Amino acid sequence: MDFDRSDSFNKQTLQEVAKKIPQLDVSSVETLLTFIKTSYKVHSLIEENLGFYGLSPGRIRVLLVMYVENDKYFTPSELADKVGITRATVTGLLDGLVRDGIVERRNHPNDRRMVMIRLTHDGVKLLNRVLPPHYLLIAQLMSGLNETERKSLVHLLEKIEQNLPDHAQTPVQEP
Amino acid sequence: MDFDRSDSFNKQTLQEVAKKIPQLDVSSVETLLTFIKTSYKVHSLIEENLGFYGLSPGRIRVLLVMYVENDKYFTPSELADKVGITRATVTGLLDGLVRDGIVERRNHPNDRRMVMIRLTHDGVKLLNRVLPPHYLLIAQLMSGLNETERKSLVHLLEKIEQNLPDHAQTPVQEP
DNA sequence: GACTTATTATTAGGTGGCTAACAGTTTTCT
DNA sequence: AGAAAACTGTTAGCCACCTAATAATAAGTC
């Protein structure tokens, strides 16, 4: 669901659209384009890296929740809430993760509606192998910004968020 | 594909992961989290708005290419290249757009492998109706940043891009 | 001119997201 | 106690993306 992928929509093209649509503010759109394009690139890169280990953004988000509390069992609902996706999507992700032996499903002892999910031993090993290069990549991505610049970036992003209409609820993260 | 949706991965959780993974640089991850979370929110909002008119990010990207050169015919390959998605995906998008009467498919007069695509009259009318509020929303999103701040944001984003490995080709945009 | 190579659009099959509907359970409320 | 309400996970069906394979056609080569 990303908007900008190529450079086909350069400034020149933008000017042409602006001729037809008076509401178009070129400066706003250019800034947004850069923003979305960068986020697409960053996202793709991380996704590509996880792909080497058979993981995906969706999978890693769910796995990380379990990784930080290793011994605990989680219900699909709990995972859905923590990750910010629907229960239906979690079911689909778990199907794959169980198939690949990364996670195990168990019946809940008291409530027969529920299922309990936990990382398998192999799942933990996988994460121990995947996470170091994952975070190394993130550190590398940010290495061009010093602490001041990072704060400044976060500050600008927060300013954008303040202009989001309230009804647009937000859910998550994957560190 | 977005990574961060909820706030389940707050700083505290991050600290815990950092204990297990020494490669994790908290400042980098925090900055990236904010970045991805904001981009997710912005993206969702735009998507939601387009949805009111039966459009999606994928559709609008393809349509915009045709909108700026209204009379021209485009081949699916051409659209794929300009938008930065595969031809297979374009085929799928066009199926829907043709079904909805927004776009028309024609045979190429000389090369029988090719197909020629063009906006229908209804398609043009739809875009004339959709684009003004679309760009109004973008202007609103950026209204919290003055010109200096926008330049500063773009500059910081470019710094991040400079640290992307080269092999990660990038494709595009939707203004 | 025939054969190989390249190109086009499409199909098939996979993924991760969504909503809506469902059956099975538990809880709540009279 | 029994009916209604609420909750759980799954399924079904849609979308937009991907890769790989395919059939049809065009272009290049010997």
Q: Kindly state whether residues A156 and A141 are assigned to the same domain.
A: yes
pLDDT reported for residue B146 = 96
Q: Is residue A174 part of a domain?
A: no
Half-sphere exposure of A105 (CA within 13 A, CB side): 15
Residue B39 and residue B93 share a domain = no
Residue B72 in domain: yes
Long-range pairs for B103-110: beta carbons < 8 A, 24 or more residues apart? B103/B63, B103/B66, B106/B73, B108/B75
Q: Are A109 and A68 in a shared domain?
A: yes
Mean pLDDT of all residues in B161-165: 86
- A170 within domain boundaries: no
Q: For A86 and C18, how far is CA from C1' in angstroms? A: 8
Contact criterion met (CB < 8 Å) for B61 and A5 = yes
Query: Do A63 and A84 fall into the same domain?
Result: yes
Are B38 and B88 found together in one domain? Answer: no
A148 shares a domain with A111: no
- The string of DSSP codes covering A125-173 is HHHHHHHHHHHHHHHHHHTTS-HHHHHHHHHHHHHHHHTS-TTS-----
Could you tell me if A79 and A133 lie in one domain? no
A112-147 pLDDT, tens digit per residue, is 999 999 999 999 999 999 999 999 999 999 999 999
B25, B80: one domain: no
pLDDT tens-digit series, residues A69-109: 888 999 999 999 999 999 999 999 999 999 999 999 999 99
Answer whether residue A171 shows pLDDT above 80. Answer: no
Domain shared by B46 and B67, yes or no: no
> B13 or B52: which carries more pLDDT confidence?
B52
Beta bridge partners of B117: B74, B105
Range of the domain at B64: 57-122
- The three-state secondary structure class of A15 is helix
CA B34 to C1' C9, whole Å: 41
Find, in chain B, the residue whose alpha carbon is nearest to that of A67: B17
A121 CB below 7 A from strand D atoms: no
- Check which CATH number belongs to the domain holding A70 and give it: 1.10.10.10
Residues 3-22 in A contacting B (C-alpha not used; CB under 8 Å): 3-9, 13-14, 16-17, 20-22
Domain total in chain A:
2
Enumerate the nucleotides of strand C whose atoms come under 7 Å of any protein CB.
7-13, 15-21, 24-27
Tokens of B28: 């980098």
Residue A85 shares a structural domain with residue A137: no
User: B47 and B61 share a domain?
Assistant: no
Distance B91 CA to C5 C1' (A): 25
A165 or A26, greater pLDDT: A26
How far out from the chain centre does Cα B68 lie?
17
pLDDT tens digits for range B65-100 = 999 988 899 999 999 999 999 999 999 999 999 999
**Cα B27–B30–B32 angle (5° rounding)?**
105
Mean pLDDT of chain A: 87
Q: Is A122 in the B-facing interface, judged by CB distances under 8 Å?
A: no
